[in-house]
């Protein structure tokens, strides 16, 4: 793809930068920021439709917005799942009534979503899910458990992949359901405490006797096709903003390496192995950016999303390891003296190291991505799966 910015993109950049400079908070609640973005029309700029209170932006302008957002150090988004995953899926597969019901609240930043895919017995093997949904009149009763559900403790809605055909196997008999999370006693959310001390992920339990869903997207039994089209959206414009965040983290690691000149402050920055690792990390980030720009807006390349995930997942994990290497033995010491009254705390680079251990697992593990590339791109024999 011939990817270049024009005069209209420069004007758009100036407008986005000015709005962010005026409105970006330096604190406060994430929910407030989502509503502020909604009032500015900045949620859903890539939907291709403007009937829901959102602006419309072309592909290059979406890249501009993502870059300016990252450069402004605006707060982390809590509405990403609804805006960038569910909304395009509804635009492609939803009914007019579903679009009218769900897209305006997403565009206003009023309703947050989570994704009910992974399960304890399936993990990245999406076709192996066992959550069941049985029709009961105009609704479905849902029984099962989801795990690693990001932001489930804050979301009002969850899109759930469940088995609606009794006796079905693998990718057959699945349906894509929209489930309200406010069902006390019917849906239980249990935060999962991580090594970092935070709990972004959750377990979600659905009580089949009472947990219900009224909205079915794409028709009963067509959940696999809907889910696959959604997964393709996970590697889009947002990866470019992600890379700007990566660049800021790399700068912090380089600064730490340079400060290591002080005796006992960390590793020797003149160490040739350490210098080579820093340079390689920088060069690989540049390659990731150009690869993202090369594939942006393309279609029909079954391996592009998997290649992107392999690249950034491994890169970010190595950056976490490098962050510890430049600190030397000081990396093992927390930011505060031990005190039983103080909560478990890490400094930013320690948090980076621990959190990035998961980068090659969540969002589809490296093993799953390599299998997709082997089967769908290279044409190698399909992996033998146990029923």
234 is catalytic: yes
Q: How far apart are CA 176 and CA 113, in angstroms?
A: 14
Q: How far apart are CA 354 and CA 373, in angstroms?
A: 28
Q: Are 269 and 257 in contact (CB under 8 A)?
A: yes
Q: What is the pLDDT of residue 278?
A: 93
Give the pLDDT confidence of 246-302 residue by residue, as tens digits.
888 999 999 888 876 544 455 565 678 888 999 999 999 999 888 887 777 555 566
Q: Is the pTM of this model over 0.85?
A: no
Q: What is the pLDDT of residue 116?
A: 86
**Nearest 10 degrees: CA dihedral of 101, 103, 104, 107?**
160
pLDDT exceeds cutoff 90 at 368? no
Who contacts 350 (Cβ-Cβ below 8 Å, separation ≥6)? 323, 324, 331, 334, 335
| Nearest by Cα to 177 from 125, 237, 242, 113 | 113
By DSSP bridging, strand 187-191 and strand 113-116 are unpaired
pLDDT exceeds cutoff 80 at 55? yes
| Nearest by Cα to 174 from 133, 215, 202, 213 | 133
Q: How far apart are CA 39 and CA 182, in angstroms?
A: 25
| Nearest by Cα to 126 from 210, 202, 229, 33 | 229
| CA–CA–CA angle 197, 179, 165 (5° rounding) | 115
Percent of the chain with pLDDT over 70: 86
Q: Please tell me the least confidently modeled range out of 4-8, 354-358, 362-366.
A: 4-8
Which DSSP state fits 126? G
Give the pLDDT confidence of 80-134 residue by residue, as tens digits.
889 988 998 999 899 999 999 999 999 999 999 998 888 887 666 666 788 888 8
Rounded to 5 degrees, φ, ψ at 240 are -70, -40
pLDDT exceeds cutoff 60 at 387? no
Q: Please tell me the least confidently modeled range out of 6-10, 54-58, 190-194, 357-361.
A: 6-10
- The one catalytic residue in 234, 284, 340, 375 is 234
Rounded to 5 degrees, φ, ψ at 222 are -105, 20
Q: What is the pLDDT of residue 16?
A: 92
Q: How far apart are CA 155 and CA 89, in angstroms?
A: 18
Residue 161, SS3 per DSSP: strand
């Amino acid at each position: 793809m011939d990817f270049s910015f024009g005069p209209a993109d420069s004007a758009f950049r100036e407008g986005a930068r000015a709005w962010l400079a005026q409105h970006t908070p330096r604190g406060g609640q994430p929910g407030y920021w989502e509503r502020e973005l909604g009032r500015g029309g900045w949620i859903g700029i890539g939907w291709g439709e403007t009937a829901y209170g959102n602006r419309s932006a072309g592909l290059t302008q979406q890249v501009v917005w993502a870059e300016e957002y990252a450069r402004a150090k605006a707060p982390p988004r809590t509405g990403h799942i609804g805006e960038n995953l569910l909304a395009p899926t509804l635009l492609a597969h939803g009914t007019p009534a579903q679009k009218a019901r769900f897209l305006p609240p997403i565009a206003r930043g009023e309703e947050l979503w989570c994704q009910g895919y992974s399960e304890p017995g399936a993990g990245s093997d999406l076709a192996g899910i066992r959550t069941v949904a049985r029709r009961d009149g105009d609704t479905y009763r849902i029984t099962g458990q989801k795990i690693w559900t990001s932001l489930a403790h804050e979301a009002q809605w969850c899109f759930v992949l469940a088995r609606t055909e009794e006796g079905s196997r693998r990718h057959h008999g699945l349906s894509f359901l929209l489930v309200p999370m406010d069902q006390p006693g019917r849906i239980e959310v249990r935060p999962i405490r991580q090594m970092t001390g935070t709990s972004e992920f959750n377990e979600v339990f659905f009580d089949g006797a009472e947990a219900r869903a009224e909205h079915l997207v794409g028709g009963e039994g067509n959940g696999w096709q809907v889910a696959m089209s959604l997964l393709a959206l996970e590697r889009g414009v947002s990866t470019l903003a992600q890379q700007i965040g990566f660049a800021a983290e790399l700068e912090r690691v380089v600064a730490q390496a340079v400060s290591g000149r002080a005796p006992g402050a960390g590793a020797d920055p003149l160490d040739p192995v350490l210098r080579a690792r820093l340079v390689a990390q920088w060069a690989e980030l540049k390659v990731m950016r150009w690869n993202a720009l090369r594939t942006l807006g393309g279609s029909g390349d079954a391996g592009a999303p998997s290649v992107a995930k392999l690249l950034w997942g491994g890169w970010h994990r190595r950056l976490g390891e490098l962050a510890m290497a430049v600190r030397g033995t000081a990396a093992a010491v927390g930011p505060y003296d031990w005190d039983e009254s103080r909560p478990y705390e890490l400094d930013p680079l320690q948090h980076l190291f621990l959190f990035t251990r998961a980068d090659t697992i969540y969002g589809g593990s490296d093993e799953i991505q390599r299998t997709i590339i082997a089967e769908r791109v290279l044409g190698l024999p399909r992996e033998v799966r146990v029923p």
